[in-house]
């Protein structure tokens, strides 16, 4: 009995215990629903069909996107079969890997184990993140490589970070937004800056330019000039504008944070509602404000979180105004990590206040806020979890 108690005590004190529990819990929750439904959902209707075309005819259909994510979806089908497991297992594994990477990003930013665990908990049980990590769409793959680039950069492995940025852009062009994050932080950081960072910028371009025609040649057996291919991607993407396209879920970037139900039409029945968890949505602006406050005070986590939020979200506003390119609320998915980072840092500070003060209303108020956010986050996740068939459409007349 004493040996068992000692083992549990060691496990509880192990710094990675909460990370392991979060990863195990989210992975189980993913696998429980992997076959439900057994038909295509969301943009799987595009990319699974394209994967089938790659296998059968060696052709690409959606030329506005680069090939890497589509080839990974195809690989899942080749390995596990043309069924829900083949469609969704690789996205689940990459999404789970992204959660692990996010924890180590927090640690590299000098967050305490407590703050990093809270941030990972918030991200792992955030609904939009969970849904995107559950389905065969392009985004989970490029976000995985984006997070990998962040971690490698913070570890000062600049050459590897550049490769990861190139892979992120090969997953989806918006993955290239990882590089502005790194550049912004490099210029603003108080950490001694190495000129070797230029290698990351150059390598990201080289990796993208070299692997783009190589990956496509592996499928089509036709060599395409990467410059012409990029021009084609931007021309096709730019042809879909707010003025010539109609979609129930399209929204300008500033609207993503105004109406969390705007994503409702972009769902499968009452399941797989790709909406940000309300517990995170209401804290987006406070979290960014706190990150900005910390950045002004030269806090490294605050600087990086601000750069992350600005370059993966706020940049969309001028892009939308200049290009009029159609966009959707789920484009906020790669920014949620920055929001969770800010919320967790704030929650950790409240816990410090609770521990530091011997008594008083502020002490218990700080603890109450932390407990409320945790409970609200769990309730939000449970209500939106795809296994529970709650029909939210009945409260959304526009859907």
Is there a contact between 302 and 294 (Cβ–Cβ < 8 Å)?
Answer: yes
Q: For residues 327 and 251, give the distance between their C-alpha atoms in angstroms, rounded to a whole number.
A: 6
Per-residue pLDDT of the chain (399 residues; tens, 9 = 90+): 666 666 566 666 767 888 999 999 999 999 988 888 778 888 888 889 989 988 988 888 877 889 999 999 999 999 999 999 999 999 999 999 999 999 999 999 999 999 999 999 999 999 999 999 999 899 999 999 999 999 999 999 999 999 999 999 999 999 999 999 999 999 888 767 777 888 889 999 999 999 999 998 888 888 888 888 888 888 877 777 888 877 777 788 888 888 766 554 444 554 677 788 999 999 999 999 999 999 999 899 999 999 999 999 999 899 889 888 888 888 899 999 999 999 999 999 999 888 888 887 888 899 999 999 999 999 999 888 877 656 555 545 444
The pTM assigned to this predicted structure is 0.91
Q: For residues 99 and 93, give the distance between their C-alpha atoms in angstroms, rounded to a whole number.
A: 10
316 CB-contact burial (10 Å; exposed 0-12 / middle 13-18 / buried 19+): buried
Q: Which residue bears the tokens 């929204």?
A: 251
Which own/partner contact pairs does 318-321 have at CB distance under 8 Å and 24+ positions apart?
Answer: 319/253, 320/252, 320/253
What three-state secondary structure class fits 396? coil
Q: 140-153: b or e for each residue (b if 16 or more CB lie within 10 Å)?
A: bbbbbbbbbbbbbb
């Amino acid at each position: 009995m004493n040996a068992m108690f000692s083992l549990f005590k060691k496990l509880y004190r192990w710094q990675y215990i909460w990370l392991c529990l979060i990863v195990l819990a989210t992975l189980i929750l993913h696998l429980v629903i992997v076959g439900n439904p057994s038909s295509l959902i969301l943009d799987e209707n595009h990319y699974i069909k394209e994967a089938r075309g790659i296998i059968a005819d060696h052709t690409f259909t959606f030329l506005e996107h680069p090939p890497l994510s589509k080839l990974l979806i195809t690989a899942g089908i080749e390995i596990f079969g043309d069924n829900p497991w083949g469609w969704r297992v690789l996205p689940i594994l990459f999404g789970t890997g992204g959660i692990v990477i996010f924890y180590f990003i927090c640690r590299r930013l000098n967050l305490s184990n407590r703050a990093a665990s809270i941030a990972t908990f918030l991200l792992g049980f955030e609904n939009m993140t969970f849904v995107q990590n559950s389905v065969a769409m392009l985004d989970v793959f490029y976000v995985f490589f984006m997070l990998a680039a962040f971690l490698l950069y913070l570890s000062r492995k600049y050459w590897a970070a550049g490769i990861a940025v190139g892979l992120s852009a090969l997953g989806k062009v918006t993955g290239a937004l990882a590089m502005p994050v790194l550049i912004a932080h490099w210029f603003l950081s108080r950490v001694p800056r190495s000129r070797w960072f230029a290698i990351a910028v150059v390598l990201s371009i080289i990796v993208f330019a070299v692997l783009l025609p190589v990956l496509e040649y592996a499928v089509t057996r036709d060599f395409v000039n990467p410059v012409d291919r990029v021009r084609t991607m931007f021309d096709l993407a730019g042809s879909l504008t707010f003025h010539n396209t109609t979609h129930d879920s399209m929204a300008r970037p500033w609207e993503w944070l105004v109406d969390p139900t705007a994503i409702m039409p972009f769902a499968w029945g009452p399941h797989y509602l790709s909406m940000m968890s309300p517990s995170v949505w209401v804290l987006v602006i406070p979290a960014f404000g706190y990150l900005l406050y910390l950045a002004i005070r030269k806090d490294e986590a605050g600087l990086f979180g601000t750069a992350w939020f600005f370059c993966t979200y706020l940049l969309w506003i001028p892009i939308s105004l200049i290009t009029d390119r159609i966009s959707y609320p789920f484009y906020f998915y790669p920014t949620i990590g920055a929001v969770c980072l800010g919320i967790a840092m704030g929650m950790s500070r409240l816990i410090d206040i609770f521990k530091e003060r011997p008594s008083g209303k502020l002490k218990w108020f700080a603890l109450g806020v932390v407990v409320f956010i945790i409970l609200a986050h769990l309730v939000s996740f449970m209500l939106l979890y795809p296994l529970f068939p709650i029909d939210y459409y009945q409260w959304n007349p526009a859907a």
